[in-house]
Amino acid sequence: MDTLIAILIATVGAGTPLVFAALGELVVEKSGVLNLGVEGMMLVGAIAAFAATSATGNMWLGVAAGMVAGAGMALVFGVLALTLQANQVAAGLALTIFGVGLSAFVGKPYESVALQAPQVLHVPVLADLPVLGPILFSQQPLVYLSWVLFALVAWFLYKSRSGLVLRSVGESPTSANALGYPVIGIRYLATLFGGAMAGVGGAYLSIIYTPLWVEGMTAGRGWIALALVVFATWRPARVLIGAYLFGGVTITQFFAQGAGAAIASQLLSSLPYLATIVVLVLISRNPNLIRLNAPVSLGKSYHPGG
Partner 1 sequence: MKGSMFARGGAALGAAAALAFGGAALAQQPLKIGFVYVSPIGDAGWTFQHDSGRKEMEKVLGAKVATKYVENVPEGADAERVIREFAATGHQLVFTTSFGYMNPTVKVAKAFPKVNFEHATGYKRDKNVGTYNARFYEGRYLTGIIAGKMTKSNVAGYVGAYPIPEVLQGINAFTRGMRSVNPKAEVRVIWVNSWYDPGREREAAMTLISQGADVITQHTDSTAPVQAAEEKGVYAFGYHSDMSKYGPKAHLTATTHQWGAFYTKVAQDTLAGKWQPSNIWGGIKDGMIKLAPINPAVPKDVRDLAAKAESEIAGGKLHPFGGPVKDQSGKERVPAGKSMPDDQLAVMDYYVEGVVGQLPKK
Measured CA to CA, the distance from residue 55 to residue 44 in angstroms comes to 17
| Choice from 117, 164, 179, 237 touching partner 1 (CB under 8 A) | 117
Of the ranges 210-218, 223-231, 234-242, 288-296, which one interacts with partner 1 (CB under 8 A)?
210-218
Measured CA to CA, the distance from residue 49 to residue 45 in angstroms comes to 6
Q: Write the interaction track for partner 1 spanning residues 261-290; mark x where CB under 8 A is met and - where it is not.
A: xxxxxx--x---------------------
Sequence-ordered strand ranges (E) for the chain = 121-122, 138-139
Maximum C-alpha span of the chain:
64
| Choice from 83, 257, 285, 296 touching partner 1 (CB under 8 A) | 257
Query: Where do runs of H (alpha helix) occur along 129-235?
Result: 132-136, 141-159, 161-171, 173-178, 183-203, 221-231
Tell me the Ramachandran region of residue 85: left when phi exceeds 0, alpha when psi lies from -120 to 50, beta otherwise: left
Q: Write the interaction track for partner 1 spanning residues 190-209; mark x where CB under 8 A is met and - where it is not.
A: ---------------x---x
Of the ranges 179-187, 188-196, 237-245, 250-258, which one interacts with partner 1 (CB under 8 A)?
250-258
Identify which of 150, 193, 195 has the alpha carbon closest to the alpha carbon of residue 42. Answer: 195
Of the ranges 104-112, 136-144, 146-154, 161-169, which one interacts with partner 1 (CB under 8 A)?
104-112
| Choice from 1, 259, 287, 305 touching partner 1 (CB under 8 A) | 259
* Binding of residue 250 to partner 1 (CB under 8 A): yes
Q: For the chain, what is the radius of gyration of the CA atoms?
A: 19
CB of 10 to partner 1, least distance (A): 6
CB of 108 to partner 1, least distance (A): 9
Closest CB to partner 1 among residues 47, 91: 47
Using alpha carbons, list the distances in angstroms from residue 148 to 31, 233, 272: 21, 21, 25
Q: Are strands 138-139 and 121-122 parallel, antiparallel or unpaired?
A: antiparallel
Closest CB to partner 1 among residues 156, 204: 204
Which residues lie near partner 1 (CB under 8 A)? 3, 6, 10, 14, 17, 104, 111-112, 114, 117, 205, 209-212, 214-219, 221, 250-251, 254-255, 257-266, 269
